[in-house]
Amino acid sequence: MVALDPKNPLWKLTLARLYLDAGQRAQARTELSALAALGKEFRQQDEVQKLLKEL
């Protein structure tokens, strides 16, 4: 899904969660960092920060 709509931050958040579940922390960090850079444009920053702390 991310490939079909790569600019959709919700897909990127889902992808980051999947990476975390799979133990792929570096890939998760890449996605989460990109989401964090969106700042207030992405309303789920609390979730992003929570997941970044889990890394």
Three-state DSSP at 13 gives helix
pLDDT of 8 reads 87
Reported as a single tens digit per residue, the pLDDT across 8-54 is: 899 999 999 999 999 999 999 999 999 999 999 999 999 999 999 98
* Predicted TM-score of the model (pTM): 0.87
pLDDT of 3 reads 64
Alpha helices, DSSP H, located in 2-55: 9-21, 25-37, 45-54
Contact 3, 11 (CB under 8 A): no
